[in-house]
Amino acid sequence: MSIGDPRLENWETVSTFEEQATALAWRDQLRGMGLDAQCTADHPLDRFGHGDVYLVVPPEQWSRANEIVENLD
């Protein structure tokens, strides 16, 4: 989980979540399928892991990641 990591600035958002556990589970699904998925947030999460969490991938992987997320929903 990255907070304000400038290396992920140009990555594309695949989905947003309100809590860390779900975001990490989706990240792990995408990683398991060979994608370079990361979870990031603009601000630290609260003590319960709640906040705005973004599941992101490099721009060239967005289409594949989006397809996977839509089919796993």
pLDDT digits (tens, 9 = 90+) for 4-18: 888 999 999 999 999
Q: How much is the pTM?
A: 0.90
Interior/surface letters 1-21, b for 16+ CB within 10 angstroms, e for the rest:
eeeeeeebeebbebbebeebe
The domain tally of the chain equals: 1
d(CA 67, CA 71): 6
d(CA 5, CA 53): 13
pLDDT tens for 10-50 read 999 999 999 999 999 999 999 999 999 999 998 999 999 99
Q: Which domain does 62 fall in, by range?
A: 2-72
